[in-house]
Structure 1
Amino acid sequence: MGYAEEYRKKLVTPEEAVKVVKSGDWIEYGFGHTKPIALDKALAARKDELKDINIRHTLTVFTLQDWHFSGYVRKLHDRGRAYYHPMIFRNQPLFYKKSIKNVDVAMIRVTKMNKGSQPQPALGNGRTRRSHPHFRSRLHYRV
Structure 2
Amino acid sequence: MGILVRPAAAQDWPAMRRLFLASRRHTFPWLTVEELKLTDLDEQTVGEMIWVAQDAGGEVVGFISLLEEDHFIHHLYIATAYHQRGVGKSLLQSLPRWNTQPYQLKCLKCNDNALAFYVACGFSRVGEGENEGRAWWLLACGPDIRR
Work out whether the TM-score is over 0.5.
no
TM-score of Structure 1 vs Structure 2, range by shorter chain = under 0.3
Q: Which has the higher contact order (CA 8 A, sep 6+)?
A: 1
More helix by share: 1
More strand by share: 2
Could you state the TM-score of these two structures normalised by the residue count of structure 1? 0.27
